[in-house]
Structure formats: C-alpha cells, structure tokens
C-alpha cells in the first residue's frame, strides 16, 4: 500500500515538472511575438546563433556572387530586421558566393581555335602557349593544359596550353620573314639552306609594297633542306580614273567613243552595200509625177512609110536651100 502511494506521488511530481517546464513555455512562445534581429553583414554561423536565440528559425535562400563581399556573408534577409513576427517564424537569408568561379573545360585534342572559343564561353582567356613536336597530334592541336579540367578558377583567368607543333621534319628551323622585303626574305631563305616556294601578291594599302605580310610554314617550325617556304607579298591597289569630261558638243568621253565607233563602221561599208541602198533612196525620193516614162520603139513598117513620105515633101516644098 505504501509502495503504491509512493509511486503515485512520484508520478504526479513528474507530470507537474513536465507541464511547468516544457508544455507551458512552448504554449507561451507560440502565442507571443518577437522582433526579427538584424543579421545582414554577418557570416552564417553568427546569424544562425542570433536568430535561434530569438526563438526563430534561419533558412538559407539564394546565393549571389559579388567579388567585393566575402563568401558566406549574408547579403539580405526576409522578413527584414525589426519586423514583428511570431515565435518559430522562418527567416530566409541570401548568401554571398564571393567572386563567381568558372569550371575549366577539357581542351586536350581540340584545335587552338576551338579551345579559345570554349574558354571565352566560360569567361576565361587563353594564356601562354608552348609548342612541342609530336607525332600523336597534328599541328595547332592541344596536347595538354596546365590547369586540370573540372577545376574552379576566377572569371577572366588565363589558361596556359601546350600545343602540338606537328612531327619533327628536320633539324632546321623556319626563320621569321614577316616584315622583311622580298629580296631580304629570298636571301634569308637561301642562307638557311631552305627553298623558295610560291610567291603570292596580296593587295594591302597599309603596308609598303614588296614587304612580306605572311609566310608558310610559320616561324620556328622544324624543317629540312627540301622544305619550301611560301611567301605572301604586299602590293598597292591600282585605281583607274575614268575620263568623264564633256566635249564642246556636250558628249562625254564614252559618248564620243560610241559616235566615233559608229562613224568607223559606216566608213567601213563596202561599195556594194552603198550601191544597193542608193537606188532605193532615189526611187523613194523621186515624186511620181516627175517620173519619165519610156516610149515604145517605132515599128519597122512605120519607118518605111515615113521614109516614103519624106521625099514627097522635098519635091513639093523643097528645103530651105532650094528656095534660096
């Protein structure tokens, strides 16, 4: 009996302690309000401690990149500071990601042009390049890169590459000829025990004529005595001015040339052509009333009668001489 009474007393004490120290504080806190503390400008650990002490809950929201604010600092909060909210309300904070980083791409096996384009897409730049002779990759292809793929680097960082210079052709090196005159380039090629290849002239008004603007193979490529070096030489653009002055009759140089050509063509006509045209013109221009009609010849029997009549006339009247 005493034992049961003791158990009852202990149970009542435990329930009182639980109600007074656990249930009542929770009930009071949920029914009361509190002001939101200011946590902007703090790091996340400090802000979390301050918010939880106020009976609130912190929740990480967006991440914004700002190179002027260290990573982990709180840029903004919602609800804002000094706003009255209920106990247990969630406070969302915006974190600083520091300076935005870019992931380094894998450039091995890509051409130099593709590698440069891929870096620019990620906000990175092409750094220094070192060339190495190899039979594994053709010229101007990336053999390896200094910073490994997948690494995180700052925006606008430069990435150095090792490029293939093609297979080793020989012990000679191609000299640099760009900026030299054609005669100087020929002499340098001859002195380097190389051969002069194809010479191509390119119009370029910004460079003096006769100057080398490009070459193939490029400078410092490996070569042997049979390697031919092609040169690209500058030349000026020739501008032809057209004669647009007018003559006294108002004809331009082009019109005068056309009229001269027409006169030349007329004078070159053959006499046969003129003879064909002339009768047509006469026939066309002669009026119908002035046309001369040809009379038919006198018949032979009429001639004899006329001759018989003439002597009779002489006998009757005679001639003027007979009368005298």
Q: What is the pLDDT of residues 200-211, one digit of tens each?
A: 999 988 889 999
Cβ atoms of residues 71 and 50 within 8 Å = no
Residue with tokens 């990336």: 142
Average pLDDT over residues 242-247: 48
Residue 209 covered by a domain: yes
Q: Are residues 223 and 178 in the same domain?
A: yes
85 in the same domain as 136:
no
57 within a domain of the structure (yes/no): yes
- Do 81 and 112 belong together in one domain? no
Spatial separation of the C-alpha atoms in residues 140 and 130, rounded to whole Å: 10
Residue 300 lies in a domain: no
Assess whether 139 and 198 both reside in one domain.
Answer: no
Give the per-residue pLDDT at 189.
92
pLDDT at 26: 60
For residue 318, pLDDT over 60 is answered with no
* Domain containing residue 92: 32-99
Claim to verify: residue 10 and residue 37 sit in the same structural domain: no
Same domain, residue pair 22 and 36: no
Domain final residue pick, 190, 211, 235: 235
pLDDT of residue 172: 84
- Residue range 285-312: average pLDDT? 50
Q: Which of 120, 142, 164 is the last residue of a domain?
A: 164
Mean pLDDT for all residues in the chain: 76
Domain membership flag for residue 13: yes
Q: How far apart are CA 142 and CA 74, in angstroms?
A: 42
Answer yes or no: do 63 and 37 share one domain. yes
Q: What is the pLDDT of residues 251-266, one digit of tens each?
A: 444 444 444 444 444 4
Inter-residue contact 56 to 38 (CB < 8 Å): no
pLDDT of 118: 94
How many contiguous H segments (helices) and E segments (strands) does the chain have? Answer: 9, 15
Both 114 and 160 in one domain: the answer is yes
Over residues 37-87, the pLDDT tens digits come to: 999 999 989 999 999 999 999 998 888 888 788 888 999 999 999 999 998
Q: Are residues 73 and 117 in the same domain?
A: no
Residues 37 and 92 in one domain: yes
Residues 193 and 223 occupy one common structural domain:
yes
- Residue at which a domain ends, from 43, 73, 99: 99
Within a domain: 294: no
Domain count, the chain: 4
Establish if 188 belongs to a structural domain: yes
105 in a structural domain: yes
Cα(97)–Cα(85) distance, integer angstroms: 28
**Confidence band, pLDDT 50/70/90 cuts, at residue 22:** low
pLDDT at res. 162: 93
Is pLDDT larger for residue 324 or for residue 181?
Answer: 181
Residue 167 confidence (pLDDT): 80
Report the percentage of the chain scoring pLDDT > 90.
35
Specify the pTM: 0.40
Q: What is the CATH number of the domain that holds 52?
A: 3.30.10.20
Is there a domain that residue 214 lies in?
A: yes
């Amino acid at each position: 009996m005493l034992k049961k009474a003791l158990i009852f007393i202990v149970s009542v004490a435990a329930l009182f302690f639980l109600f007074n120290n656990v249930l009542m504080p929770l009930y009071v806190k949920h029914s009361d309000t509190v002001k939101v503390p200011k946590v902007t400008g703090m790091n996340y650990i400090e802000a979390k401690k301050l918010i939880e002490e106020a009976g609130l809950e912190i929740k990480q929201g967006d991440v914004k990149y700002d190179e002027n604010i260290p990573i982990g600092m709180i840029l903004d909060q919602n609800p804002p500071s000094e706003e009255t909210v209920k106990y247990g309300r969630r406070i969302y904070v915006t974190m600083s990601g520091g300076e935005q980083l870019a992931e380094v791409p894998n450039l091995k096996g890509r051409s130099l042009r593709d590698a440069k384009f891929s870096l620019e897409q990620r906000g990175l730049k092409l750094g220094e390049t070192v060339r190495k002779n190899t039979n594994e990759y053709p010229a101007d292809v990336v053999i390896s890169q200094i910073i490994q793929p997948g690494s995180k680097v700052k925006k606008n960082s430069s990435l150095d590459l090792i490029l293939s210079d093609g297979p080793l052709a020989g012990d000679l090196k191609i000299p640099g000829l760009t900026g030299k005159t054609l005669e100087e380039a020929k002499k340098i090629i001859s002195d380097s025990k190389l051969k002069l290849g194809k010479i191509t002239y390119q119009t370029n008004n910004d460079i003096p004529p006769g100057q080398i603007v490009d070459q193939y193979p490029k400078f410092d490529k490996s070569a042997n005595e049979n390697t031919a070096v092609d040169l690209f030489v500058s030349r000026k653009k020739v501008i032809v001015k057209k004669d647009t002055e007018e003559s006294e009759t108002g004809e331009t140089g082009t019109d005068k040339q056309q009229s001269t050509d027409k006169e030349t063509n007329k004078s070159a006509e053959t006499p046969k052509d003129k003879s064909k045209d002339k009768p047509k013109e006469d026939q066309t221009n002669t009026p119908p009333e002035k046309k001369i009609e040809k009379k038919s010849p006198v018949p032979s029997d009429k001639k004899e009668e006329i001759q018989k009549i003439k002597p009779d006339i002489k006998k009757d009247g005679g001639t003027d001489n007979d009368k005298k």
